[in-house]
Structure 1
Amino acid sequence: MEIKLIKTETDYQAALAEIECLFDAAPNSREADLLEVWATLVEAYEAKHFAIPEPDPIEAILYHMQSRGLTRRDLEPYIGSRARVAEVLNRRRALSIEMIRRLHAGLGIPAEVLIQPYELAKTAA
């Protein structure tokens, strides 16, 4: 198959089939080079058409808490007082830049996730 940009779903499926045929190519062979080119084209198409959005910052914090067995009290060094932790996790207060820095440095939560916009809880007026 002639190498060309992947513009449609049909092109995408054809490229995947081409990759499948080349999958067992010997290293440093012409087929291995073709495989790399096709994989690069598929990766570019998928990044454009199947982009995965960054997770919600609060959901990311909750996930890290659950996966590491952390409690709200464990977040106090990164967010502040117990009340402040509750406000942030209940979406009544936004994360500050300092909180984001501390969560990133201390818990390894990616800063690019923590800086994503997210909705705060609506307050009764």
Structure 2
Amino acid sequence: MTLKTIKSEQEYDSMMAWVDEQFDRKVKPDSPDGEALQVALLLIKSYEDVQYAIPSPDPIEAIRLKMAEKGIHNKDFVGKLGSKSYVSAVLNRRKPLTLTMAKFFYKELGIPASVLLA
């Protein structure tokens, strides 16, 4: 197998088949074949990151999902984030999610900052 960047689905499938063969052979990681396998896996990951990119979740949807999982309602944030109408406006996208709110949701709901600030 010649290791090179993957540019098509056919090359991807071929590389995946080769990797499967290497796993079946149980190559040692520190052997020359093991080194080639590691490079192939990096090439596959690079191709998948571009071709099958996972979009970032919507911050408000992530908040709503975590609220549902934890049984939290809008009214539970009244006083912590503002009035009932303000909390509702934020969760219904009529008001923007501020940095202060993102910090609050990070601490209260455990939502990663990368999701909240996307």
Report the TM-score when normalising by structure 2. Answer: 0.85
Number of residue pairs matched? Answer: 116
Please, which moves more after superposition, 26-35 or 94-103? Answer: 26-35
Q: 1:75 to 1:26 in 2, by over 3 A?
A: farther
Partner of 1:12: 12
- Ranges in structure 2 where 5+ consecutive residues have no aligned partner: none
Partner of 2:50: 48
- Ranges in structure 1 where 5+ consecutive residues have no aligned partner: 117-125
Alignment pair present for 1:112 and 2:80: no
CA drift of 1:66 comes to: 1.8
Kindly provide the amino acid, as one letter, of the partner of residue 47 in structure 2: Y
The answer as to whether partners of 2:74 and 2:87 remain within 8 angstroms in 1 is: yes
Aligned pairs for 1:28-67 (under 5 A) are 28-67=30-69
Kindly provide the amino acid, as one letter, of the partner of residue 7 in structure 1: K
SS of equivalent residue, structure 1 residue 67: helix
CA drift of 1:6 comes to: 0.7
Kindly provide the amino acid, as one letter, of the partner of residue 88 in structure 2: A
Report the TM-score when normalising by structure 1. Answer: 0.81
CA RMSD of aligned residues (A): 1.8
Partner of 1:71: 73
Distance 2:56 2:108 in 1: 20
